Structure 1
Amino acid sequence: MSCNCSLEQNYKVIGLCDVKKINDGKKIEPKKSWVQITIPEILTIPECKPTIEEIDKIYISAKVNSVRIIKTPKSPKNDKGEFIPGKEGTILTGRKLLVDGSLCQTIVYTANNRAQTVHAANFEIPFCVHIVIDEDANIELDKYCVDICIEDVFATVVDKKNIFKNVTLFLQAKKEKNPHC
């Protein structure tokens, strides 16, 4: 069994963020509320579209549909009143921001036919993630805005109708004085 693995992508991704623009190019402060996630998915080309030979371009954007604060368990505190992280380094403050969002994407591909026509398929994939926020966040009154950065997109053709795609997102929650994001 052999593997035709390549380190190069033959497709172009439109929609990646400029990581230098996150926090205006400054390092992320350790106490900020942020998370990184990956979203693996299998995208199936619709039946009405021709089969796929290769991916040409991926247009992608991410949007936040809703956010809400929930109560959670708290990590224990040490003698200094500091939270003690769990074995994986996670600290629970008793508050999390639940973020429901969507990946909006268009896959442009060359069809597996003699004419090698170019086609596009649109997908909207939901995601849900939590971000640990300050323990004093008021569930009723506080409002948060979430910035999303699409860091990376990997895609490969699985078969003539299916694409495996993995998207890496960085999400940062910011407490808003003015609740209009």
Structure 2
Amino acid sequence: MEKIVRDLIEYNGISIYTYSVKNFKQFNIEQIDNISNKRADMDQILKVWVDTKVIDTEVIKTPIGSSTEGQIATGKKLIVCGDIDIKIEYVSCDDGQNIYVENFTIPFGTYVVLPQKFNEHGIISATIMVEDISSTIINPRCIYNNITLIAIADIY
């Protein structure tokens, strides 16, 4: 996992993958999260950590064809469901400018189109990788999180 710094915020959990992928789908998750009432108001975000986990997968049958937009349906998709865990470290607005950590979990569901011909009795492994993270304070109690991910289906 890599970290990047953008606008004075350190983002942790960005995936580095060096191999080519065949069966994948890029997708984006956006969410507005509220700071717990037990925590002080936000003044500045210091660090953001993101981790993903796949909870369930299922191969489903779909129609076969292609749309006028160029989307191809091969007859099989891998449904991938999971969670994105986000940890935000921030400086509070109070006089002491204390540092707090807030945790959020965002459930997600996506799919990966599978090849028309593959070993249906083989092993299909789903991986979710984080391509980019962006977090912005909307107001002292709300934060906007935007995460770009890629779902990869490896077939063995």
TM-score normalised according to structure 2 size: 0.90
Matched, 1:53 2:33: no
Q: Where does residue 111 of structure 1 map in the other structure?
A: 92
Q: Where does residue 14 of structure 1 map in the other structure?
A: 12
Q: Per-residue displacement from partner, 1:141-176 (whole Å, max 9, x unpaired)?
A: 343111222110011000111001100001210113
Q: Where does residue 133 of structure 1 map in the other structure?
A: 114
- Structure with greater proportional strand content: 2
**What is the CA distance between 1:138 and its match in structure 2?**
6.3
Matched, 1:66 2:56: yes
Q: Over the residues paired in the alignment, what is the CA RMSD in angstroms? A: 1.5
Q: Which amino acid aligns with 2:150?
A: F
> Which of these residues, 104, 126, 146, is aligned with residue 166 of structure 1?
146
Q: Where does residue 144 of structure 1 map in the other structure?
A: 124
Matched, 1:123 2:104: yes
2:74 and 2:84 map into 1 onto residues whose CA distance is: 28
Gapped regions of structure 1 (runs ≥ 5): 1-7, 76-84, 177-181
Gapped regions of structure 2 (runs ≥ 5): 1-5
Q: Where does residue 3 of structure 2 map in the other structure?
A: none
2:24 and 2:69 map into 1 onto residues whose CA distance is: 16
State whether residues 155 and 164 of structure 1, in contact with CA within 8 Å, keep that contact through their aligned partners in structure 2: yes
Matched, 1:91 2:72: yes
1:18 and 1:102 map into 2 onto residues whose CA distance is: 19
Q: What secondary structure is seen at the aligned counterpart in 2 of 1:88?
A: coil
Q: Which amino acid aligns with 1:158?
A: I
Q: Where does residue 78 of structure 1 map in the other structure?
A: none
State the aligned residue count.
Answer: 151
State which structure, 1 or 2, has the greater radius of gyration over its C-alpha atoms: 1
Q: Where does residue 82 of structure 1 map in the other structure?
A: none
State whether residues 67 and 144 of structure 1, in contact with CA within 8 Å, keep that contact through their aligned partners in structure 2: no
Q: Where does residue 79 of structure 1 map in the other structure?
A: none
Q: Per-residue displacement from partner, 1:24-83 (whole Å, max 9, x unpaired)?
A: xxx44xxx21010010011111111111111100011111111100011110xxxxxxxx
Runs of 4+ in 1 over 6 A off after TM superposition: none
**What is the CA distance between 1:137 and its match in structure 2?**
4.7
1:99 and 1:63 map into 2 onto residues whose CA distance is: 10
2:16 and 2:125 map into 1 onto residues whose CA distance is: 19
